Amino acid sequence: MKKYAALFKKLMKDESGQGATEYILLLVVVVALALMFRNQISAAFSAKLSELSSSIQGFTGGTQ
């Protein structure tokens, strides 16, 4: 029984996989948020690209 108690204590103190687990959970949260707000992100991205395109055309005089 002491063997199992010692093994359990050793496993509870072992933190070698903790960092990887935290990064995986953080990645899951970021992906979930990106999926939830994909329409808003896409609209904002398109608006910024359009704004950038018009700024570039204004700078170059509209010629390509």
- The string over 38-61, giving b where at least 16 C-beta atoms fall within 10 Å of a residue's C-beta and e elsewhere, is eeeeeeeeeeeeeeeeeeeeeeee
Tokens of 10: 């050793």
pLDDT above 90 covers what percent of the chain?
A: 45
More confident residue, 2 or 14: 2
Give the span between the Cα atoms of 60 and 54, in whole angstroms: 10
Q: Give the single-character DSSP code of 15.
A: -
Locate all alpha helices (DSSP H) within the chain, ordered by sequence.
2-13, 18-36, 38-60
More confident residue, 60 or 50: 50
pLDDT computed for residue 6 by the predictor: 86
